[in-house]
Structure 1
Amino acid sequence: MGIVVVNPGPLTLVEDLGRQGWAALGLSPSGALDRQSLRLANALVGNPATAAGLEILLGGLRLRFVTASYVAVAGAEGSVTLNGAEIPLNQAVPVAPGAVLDFAVPLFGLRYYLAVQGGIDAPRLLGSRSTDMLSGEGPAPLASGDHLGIGSDLGGGPELGAGSDLVTGPLAVPAIRRAPDPARAITVRVDRGPRADWFDHDSWRQLVTQGWTLSADSNRIGARLVGRPLKQTRTEDLPSEGMVLGALQVPPSGLPTVFLADHPVTGGYPVIAVVRRADLDVLGQARPGQRIRFVG
């Protein structure tokens, strides 16, 4: 086995870009909440975009490498050390056998993404190695003493040359996007949802003008928001209908939830808006208590 988990931290998951098209079986797309950061980390070590990496919530992870490799860390910004020495983020770094990699609590953002050259080797389910926290399918969250295999998912991106230098491959490295500052509001673009007509114009204006706060009850299933509740103009029961990634669903409390990667595939509350796919990555890095503004 290539890697031993010494300490898993609060929650560390195996994630790739997810499994699409299986809602009929009750499975959400799952996958990394910040897909751009996972793509970046994979590209930096020469993996294809679809390779599995680790999604690390709030640091705390400690890994011991049995096998030499290259690693890259993207996403959240904080101190990541190799044998006690801080390593750069957003860059490929060689790791020797016996080396220990530690993740501190990030200063910015919420989730680190670790790519290992060759990818994390875990069983595939319907074409993906991703953990789905709602259904419980996919690899279990990491636990102390776990052994992780290193795969052979190479090619399709920049390749490692001699030493730690990178040479340009057939695909460009994705742009580095800074993790959001928890002291600043993030802006998220939305489009009108299929049930926007269940709310009056004032509710839509309220959605896109007032500030919202990310609740501590948020998780990979949904980002729960706190603010002045929205009011429906229609009160009849809504039959359960399909839900998409980014759907902004409004329950009777009037406080919206944005469905994230592990969302349920159906729901019975009206969807007033849908977050644009490109902005879900930023939302996946927002911290509890962070201010959020919608624009549409």
Structure 2
Amino acid sequence: MTLAVLSTGVLTTVQDRGRRGLAHLGVPRAGALDAPAAALANRLVGNHPDAAVLEVTLGGLSFRAGTGLWIAVTGAPAPVRVAGRARGVQRPEWVPAGAVVTLDPPAIGVRSYVAVSGGIAVPPVLGSRATDTLAWVGPPRVAPGDRLPLGGATEPRPLDTPPVRRPGELRLHPGPRADWFAPAALDRLTATTWRVEPASDRIGLRLAGPPLPRSREGELASEGMVLGAVQVPPSGQPIVFLADHPPTGGYPVIAVVEEADLWRCAQARPGEPIRFTTTG
């Protein structure tokens, strides 16, 4: 039971819920950038929450099913075709044995998630099947010609009303290094409409706007970094750390994004606006 990969677009990786608890060993968390979308895809095909899915950046994935199976596509709404026929997203779809599945580029969003019944059963590394694009821990990026093994067959669980997700501001928890910035820096961070930079990736969402002013010169000694940390390098342009972020860093962190809002970072395209608000 395998998927024969024909094309992969810009970047396709295997992802699950990530390898938590290993930052003290220098191992990033990894895992799906849009965690709610990946969880929904697994739920739709009846998979265990820990099952691995395919994270597809801006479409371009195609594969041939070696056996009949259920799939579900969530996240960025990439047009789906099975054997040349259009199929839906956010619902289970049956794929006959030998049929080719194709994801075209989505009109909005960046990352789509493909769950298949049984999950992608590549060998786990340090307890996870997630691909880390910073240190390349876990399986390599998916490439044309790969044959991806599948787990045991599962039965779909369609939802009557799939969740509706709307864009919004990213909620911030101020600190822990707010004292490294001028008093007006946090206000500037929340008052500015930032633009997503093309250099953004699974490591961090890079933003462009008026520089955030510092109150101190120099840099910190390297210290632990958490998911969602808003790190500010000397340029003053903030970076929101995402799933493949380094476990340590030496630039001060002005705030941390609420984890429940990070899926918006996963789906933000270059040039799109991002706004922040403080919690409480």
Q: TM-score band (shorter)?
A: over 0.9
Give the equivalent residue in structure 2 for 1:163. Answer: none
Indicate if the aligned counterparts of 2:169 and 2:275 stay in contact, CA closer than 8 A.
yes
Matched, 1:191 2:178: no
- 1:185-210: CA deviations, max 9, x gaps? x4111110210111122111000011
Matched, 1:231 2:231: no
TM-score w.r.t. length of structure 1: 0.90
- Moved >2 Å (runs of 4+): 172-180
Aligned length: 278
- 1:75-103: CA deviations, max 9, x gaps? 00131111111111000111111101111
Q: Aligned partner of 1:203: which letter?
A: A
Q: What percentage of residue pairs aligned between the two structures are identical?
A: 49
Q: Aligned partner of 1:119: which letter?
A: G
Indicate if the aligned counterparts of 1:43 and 1:173 stay in contact, CA closer than 8 A.
no
Measure the CA separation in 1 of the matches of 2:219 and 2:268: 33
Matched, 1:176 2:144: no
Q: Which has the higher strand share?
A: 1
Q: What SS does the corresponding residue of 2:109 show, helix, strand or coil? A: strand
- 1:117-146: CA deviations, max 9, x gaps? 000011111211000000111111111110
Give the equivalent residue in structure 2 for 1:183. Answer: none
**Can you give the 5+ residue segments of structure 2 that lack an aligned partner in the other structure?**
none
Matched, 1:143 2:125: no
- 1:92-116: CA deviations, max 9, x gaps? 1111111011111101110110000
Q: Aligned partner of 1:40: which letter?
A: L
Match of 2:192 among 186, 210, 221: 210
Give the equivalent residue in structure 1 for 2:87. Answer: 87
Cα offset, 1:46, TM superposition: 0.3
Q: What SS does the corresponding residue of 1:108 show, helix, strand or coil? A: coil
Indicate if the aligned counterparts of 2:182 and 2:214 stay in contact, CA closer than 8 A.
yes
Measure the CA separation in 1 of the matches of 2:26 and 2:220: 20
Matched, 1:120 2:107: no
* RMSD, aligned CA: 1.6
Indicate if the aligned counterparts of 2:90 and 2:162 stay in contact, CA closer than 8 A.
no
Cα offset, 1:174, TM superposition: 9.6
Q: Aligned partner of 2:151: which letter?
A: G
**Structure 1, 247-256 or 75-84: larger mean CA deviation:** 75-84
- 1:20-71: CA deviations, max 9, x gaps? 0001111111000000000000000000111000000000111111111100
TM-score w.r.t. length of structure 2: 0.95
